[in-house]
């Protein structure tokens, strides 16, 4: 298994963290620990975005919590439509960042022409035209810990809290929906599952998730120790987990010289660069001891702790889930198992299968139905279920 090779045995080499964003706005204040999760730490206006005509753009820094329960500062970008009214709906959209560099944050990529944003721009503009505000959280956290799924869920929930607590946004009593695909779907689904215990006071109308890797372990096994076109993502997840769990995931100690060089090349890279750097390679190419395929117990536990299929809690809000049954990038069995468990637990779940052979195409095809479903939940219409 890919991550098994990369995280084998024990050692003490230090993780490689991303270059901190030079903008002081992203830095945590000295009194961070004195704030509650979701408290607003800072806010600033950003220039208008041609991608979203007429929308006011604000960036909000807020207090959140990392995977060890330690306070962190996180950020979200809020789009407010022209002529917005108080308590109009709020959509928290978790973009598939899937990156390791701080310059890859959604709050940064909105202004530099990221082609991946073009996939989601049309549906977000539809929401703005309906009078909804949109929150776009930087859900990988300040260390860009790709793979730290629980972290993404907590940041998403705290970003919603922050939006509701900022008076000038007028969202205190707004209905809230969440949407995310792929890596953004990970953050969205974890936010839905964690909400009953992490943010029980939040009233959420529902969440739509698509193409979600529900189990990081089975995804690692699917990418495999041998060359794979998308192995760069598996390597990036291992790097991200080491950042979030440096004492439990000793990746760097078990990389050979080529592996360390690839880690260094990936450390500040965005999605497309990660895929290009790792294309058609495998864990055997990078591990210092490729004969060891089983992870030590603690590292395996970290991967399992961040795999929603294995999380015993379930959402208490209506859910919409879509994916392609022939998606070559994510293990479908983990989605099917999660859907089944949620149904058996009484979750109001609507499932849609999109017959497309490619991961990103399924995002486009399923998005209109997901947005229609979210609109109905925000209006308070009864949630359907096809369990």
**In this structure, what CATH number is given to the domain that contains residue 233?**
1.10.260
Q: Which phi-psi region, left, alpha or beta, contains residue 71 (left: φ > 0; alpha: ψ -120 to 50)?
A: beta
Average pLDDT of the chain to the nearest whole number: 91
Q: Alpha-carbon distance 95 to 186, whole Å?
A: 10
Are 129 and 82 members of one domain? yes
pLDDT at 5: 46
pLDDT at 43: 98
pLDDT at 267: 96
Are 11 and 29 members of one domain? no
Q: Which of 260, 295, 330 is the last residue of a domain?
A: 295
What single string gives the DSSP state of each residue in 214-233? --HHHHHHHH-SS-BTTHHH
Q: 93-97, 283-287, 317-321, 337-341 — which is least confidently predicted?
A: 283-287
The answer to whether residue 301 is domain-embedded is: no
Q: Contact 196/224 with Cβ under 8 angstroms?
A: no
pLDDT at 340: 97
pLDDT band of residue 134 (cuts 50, 70, 90) is very high
The answer to whether residue 251 is domain-embedded is: yes
Give the rounded percent of residues in the chain with a pLDDT score beyond 70.
94
Contacts of 114 (CB under 8 A, 6+ apart): 270
Are 127 and 273 members of one domain? no
Are 29 and 154 members of one domain? yes
Q: Alpha-carbon distance 123 to 383, whole Å?
A: 21
Q: Work out the average pLDDT over 120-147.
A: 95
- Give which of 166, 199, 156 is closest to 41, Cα–Cα: 166
Q: Which domain holds residue 238?
A: 2-16+219-295
Are 263 and 318 members of one domain? no
Q: Which of 248, 276, 295 is the last residue of a domain?
A: 295
Does the pLDDT value for residue 7 go beyond 80? no
Q: Alpha-carbon distance 238 to 223, whole Å?
A: 13
The residue with greater pLDDT, 268 or 301, is 268
- Give which of 215, 230, 38, 53 is closest to 129, Cα–Cα: 53
Residue 281: phi and psi, rounded to 5, are: -120, 175
pLDDT band of residue 125 (cuts 50, 70, 90) is very high
Give the tens place of pLDDT for each residue, 349-376.
999 999 888 898 899 899 999 999 999 9
Residue 240 DSSP one-character state? H
pLDDT at 346: 97
- Give which of 215, 222, 210 is closest to 353, Cα–Cα: 210
Does the pLDDT value for residue 40 go beyond 70? yes
The residue with greater pLDDT, 10 or 211, is 211
Q: Contact 18/267 with Cβ under 8 angstroms?
A: yes
The answer to whether residue 209 is domain-embedded is: yes
Q: Which of 295, 323, 347 is the last residue of a domain?
A: 295
Give the tens place of pLDDT for each residue, 309-365.
999 999 999 999 999 999 988 899 999 999 999 999 999 999 999 988 889 889 989
pLDDT band of residue 12 (cuts 50, 70, 90) is very low
pLDDT band of residue 380 (cuts 50, 70, 90) is very high
The answer to whether residue 29 is domain-embedded is: yes
The answer to whether residue 300 is domain-embedded is: no
Are 60 and 173 members of one domain? yes
Are 232 and 287 members of one domain? yes
pLDDT at 10: 38
The answer to whether residue 177 is domain-embedded is: yes
The answer to whether residue 100 is domain-embedded is: yes
The token duo for 84 is: 């917005």
Are 172 and 246 members of one domain? no
The answer to whether residue 384 is domain-embedded is: no
Q: Alpha-carbon distance 306 to 315, whole Å?
A: 16
Are 206 and 234 members of one domain? no
Does the pLDDT value for residue 35 go beyond 50? yes
Are 369 and 255 members of one domain? no
Total structural domains in the chain?
2
Does the pLDDT value for residue 291 go beyond 50? no
Q: What's 34's domain CATH number?
A: 3.40.50.1820
pTM listed for this prediction: 0.94
Query: What sign does the dihedral 249-18-2-184 (CA atoms) show?
Result: positive
What single string gives the DSSP state of each residue in 304-354? HHT-GGG-----SS-EEEEE-TT-SSS-HHHHHHHHHHHHHTT--EEEEE-
Q: Contact 283/290 with Cβ under 8 angstroms?
A: yes
Residue 351 DSSP one-character state? E
Are 153 and 80 members of one domain? yes
Q: 107-116, 179-188, 261-270 — which is least confidently predicted?
A: 107-116
pLDDT at 297: 61
pLDDT at 289: 61
Are 226 and 261 members of one domain? yes
The residue with greater pLDDT, 357 or 224, is 357
């Amino acid at each position: 298994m890919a991550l098994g090779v990369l995280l084998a045995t024990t050692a003490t080499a230090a993780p490689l963290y991303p270059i901190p964003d030079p903008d002081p706005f992203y830095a945590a204040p000295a009194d961070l620990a004195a704030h509650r999760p979701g408290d607003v730490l800072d806010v600033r206006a950003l220039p208008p975005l041609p991608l979203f005509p007429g929308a006011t753009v604000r960036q909000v820094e807020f207090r959140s919590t990392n995977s060890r329960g330690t306070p962190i500062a996180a950020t979200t970008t809020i789009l407010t439509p022209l002529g917005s009214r108080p308590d109009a709906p709020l959509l928290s959209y978790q973009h598939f960042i899937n990156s390791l560099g701080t310059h890859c944050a959604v709050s940064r990529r909105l202004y530099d022409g990221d082609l991946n944003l073009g996939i989601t721009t049309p549906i977000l503009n539809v929401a703005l035209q309906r009078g909804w505000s949109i929150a776009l959280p930087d859900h990988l956290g300040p260390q860009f810990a790709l793979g730290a799924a629980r972290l993404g869920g907590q940041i998403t929930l705290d970003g919603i809290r922050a939006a509701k607590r900022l008076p000038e946004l007028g969202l205190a009593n707004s209905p809230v929906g969440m949407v995310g695909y792929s890596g953004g779907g990970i953050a969205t689904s974890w936010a839905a599952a964690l909400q009953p215990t992490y943010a029980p006071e939040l009233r959420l109308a529902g969440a739509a998730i698509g193409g979600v890797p529900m189990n990081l372990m089975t995804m690692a096994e699917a990418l495999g120790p041998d060359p794979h076109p998308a192995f760069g993502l598996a390597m990036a997840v291992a790097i991200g987990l080491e950042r979030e769990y440096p004492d439990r995931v000793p990746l760097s100690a078990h990389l050979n010289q080529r592996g360390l060089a690839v880690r260094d090349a990936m450390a500040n890279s965005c999605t497309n660069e990660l895929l290009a750097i790792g294309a058609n390679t495998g864990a055997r190419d990078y591990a210092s001891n490729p004969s060891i395929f089983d992870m030590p117990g603690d590292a395996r536990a970290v991967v399992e702790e961040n795999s929603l299929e294995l999380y015993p809690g379930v959402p208490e809000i209506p859910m919409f889930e879509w994916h392609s049954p022939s998606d070559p990038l994510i293990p479908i069995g983990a989605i099917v198992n999660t859907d089944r468990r949620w149904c058996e637990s009484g979750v109001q779940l609507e499932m849609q299968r999109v017959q497309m052979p490619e991961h990103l195409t399924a995002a486009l095809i399923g998005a209109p139905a997901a947005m229609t479903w979210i609109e109905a939940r925000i209006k308070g219409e009864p949630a359907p279920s096809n369990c």
